Amino acid sequence: MVKELFAALPDDPAPPLADGYLDEVLVRGRRSVRRRRLANAGVWAVVLLALAALVIPAVPLDARPAAPARHPSLPDRFAGYSLLTSSVERSAPGRVIAIYGYGNGETFNMFQPLVVGADADTYRRVSAMEERGGALGLLSPDGTRVLVGDDRGAAGDLVLVELTSGRRRTIALGAPVGVRLLAWSPDGRYVAYSAAPIGASDGAIDFVESEVLRHGTLRLLDVASGRIAELGSLSGVSTAAFAPDGARVAVQVAAQVHLLDLNGHEDGVVALDSGRGLVAGVGWSPDGRFLATAPWSGGSGHGSFLTDPGDVQFVPVAPQATPPGAVEDVVRMLGWRDAGRIVAATVDSPGGRLSLSEIDLGSGQRRVLSRFDTGRSCELGMQQCEVYDLQLAAGLLPDLAVRHAGSPDRGPWPWILRIPAAVLLAGALLLWWRLSRPRRAAP
Amino acid sequence: MRDEREFVEYVRARMPWLRRLAYRLCGEWAGADDLVQECLVALYRHWRKAAAAESLDAYVRAILVHAYLAERRRPWARRVQPAADLEDGAVSGPGIESRVDVRAALARLTRGQRAVLVLRYWEDLDVAQTAAALGCSAGTVKSQTAYAIAALRRLLPNYTPGGGDAW
Segment A152-179, tens digit of pLDDT: 888 999 999 999 999 999 999 988 999 9
CA dihedral over B145, B146, B151, B156, signed as positive or negative? positive
Chain B residues whose CB is inside 8 A of the A14 CB are 16, 19-20, 23, 29
On the 0-12 / 13-18 / 19+ scale of CB atoms within 10 A, A430 is exposed
How confident is residue A59, by pLDDT bands cut at 50, 70 and 90? low
CA separation for the pair A367, B143 (Å, rounded): 86
Tell me, what's the pLDDT at A58?
Answer: 57
A249 close to A243: Cβ distance less than 8 angstroms:
yes
A 10 A CB-CB count for B92 gives 15
Mutate to test the interface with A, among B5, B40, B116 (most CBs of A within 10 A): B40
Domain ranges within chain B, ordered by starting residue: 1-82, 85-167
Nearest to A33 among B45, B148, B149 (CB): B45
pLDDT in tens, A370-386: 999 877 778 777 788 89
Going by C-beta distance under 8 Å and a sequence separation of 6 or more, which residues neighbour residue A350? Answer: A307, A308, A309
On the 0-12 / 13-18 / 19+ scale of CB atoms within 10 A, B124 is exposed
Tell me, what's the pLDDT at A331?
Answer: 94
A 10 A CB-CB count for A10 gives 8
- Residue of chain A whose alpha carbon sits nearest to that of B101: A9
For chain A, which residues lie within 8 Å of any Cβ of chain B, measuring from their own Cβ? 1-6, 8-12, 14-15, 17-18, 21-22, 24-26, 28-30, 32-33, 36, 438-443
On the 0-12 / 13-18 / 19+ scale of CB atoms within 10 A, A121 is buried
Nearest to A32 among B8, B41, B152 (CB): B41
**Interchain proximity B99–A25, CB inside 8 Å:** no
Q: How far is B106 from chain A (nearest CA, A)?
A: 10
Tell me, what's the pLDDT at B161?
Answer: 54
Chain A residues whose CB is inside 8 A of the B15 CB are 17
CA separation for the pair B16, B29 (Å, rounded): 12
Strands of the sheet containing A386-392, edge to edge, are A123-125, A112-117, A96-103, A386-392
User: The domain B1-82: what is its CATH number?
Assistant: 1.10.1740
Chain A residues whose CB is inside 8 A of the B11 CB are 22, 25
> A386-415 burial, b for 16+ CB within 10 Å, e for fewer?
bbbbbbbbbbbbeebebbebeebbbbbbbe
DSSP state letters, B47-85: HHHHHTSS-HHHHHHHHHHHHHHHGGG-TT--PPPP-PP
- Residue of chain A whose alpha carbon sits nearest to that of B137: A442
Please determine, for residue A244, whether its predicted confidence score (pLDDT) is greater than 90: yes
**Interchain proximity A11–B99, CB inside 8 Å:** no
CA separation for the pair A252, A241 (Å, rounded): 9
A 10 A CB-CB count for B74 gives 9
Average confidence score pLDDT of chain A: 88
pLDDT in tens, A272-307: 998 999 999 999 999 999 999 999 887 778 888 888
Please determine, for residue B165, whether its predicted confidence score (pLDDT) is greater than 80: no
Please determine, for residue A182, whether its predicted confidence score (pLDDT) is greater than 70: yes
Q: Are strands A228-235 and A112-117 parallel, antiparallel or unpaired?
A: unpaired
Q: What is the mean pLDDT of residues A84-105?
A: 92
**Interchain proximity A8–B98, CB inside 8 Å:** yes
Tell me, what's the pLDDT at B84?
Answer: 39
How confident is residue B134, by pLDDT bands cut at 50, 70 and 90? very high
CA separation for the pair A143, A97 (Å, rounded): 6
Please determine, for residue A440, whether its predicted confidence score (pLDDT) is greater than 70: no
Chain B residues whose CB is inside 8 A of the A3 CB are 121, 124
Tell me, what's the pLDDT at B100?
Answer: 61
**Residue whose C-alpha is closest to residue A192's, from A162, A226, A231:** A231
**Interchain proximity B136–A1, CB inside 8 Å:** no
Q: Chain-centre distance of CA A323, in angstroms?
A: 34
Tell me, what's the pLDDT at B51?
Answer: 92
Going by C-beta distance under 8 Å and a sequence separation of 6 or more, which residues neighbour residue A337? Answer: A343, A358, A397, A398, A400
CATH topology of domain B85-167: Arc Repressor Mutant, subunit A (1.10.10)
Q: What is the mean pLDDT of residues A123-143?
A: 94
What secondary structure letter does DSSP report for B164? T
**Interchain proximity A17–B69, CB inside 8 Å:** no
Nearest to A17 among B33, B98, B135 (CB): B33
Nearest to B41 among A1, A5, A28 (CB): A28
A262 close to A241: Cβ distance less than 8 angstroms:
no
**Residue whose C-alpha is closest to residue A367's, from A100, A74, A161:** A74
Dihedral angle of Cα B26, B29, B34, B40, to the nearest 10 degrees: 90
Tell me, what's the pLDDT at A279?
Answer: 95
Tell me, what's the pLDDT at A62?
Answer: 46
pLDDT in tens, B93-106: 445 556 667 788 88
3-state SS, residue A44: helix
Please determine, for residue B5, whether its predicted confidence score (pLDDT) is greater than 70: yes
pLDDT in tens, B62-102: 999 999 998 755 444 444 444 433 444 444 444 555 666 77
Nearest to A32 among B29, B44, B103 (CB): B44
Nearest to A443 among B19, B134, B152 (CB): B134
Tell me, what's the pLDDT at A353?
Answer: 86
A259 close to A268: Cβ distance less than 8 angstroms:
yes
Domains and CATH numbers, chain A: 60-411 (2.120.10.30)
CA separation for the pair B14, B36 (Å, rounded): 11
ipTM: 0.79
Q: How far is B33 from chain A (nearest CA, A)?
A: 8
CA separation for the pair B51, B53 (Å, rounded): 6
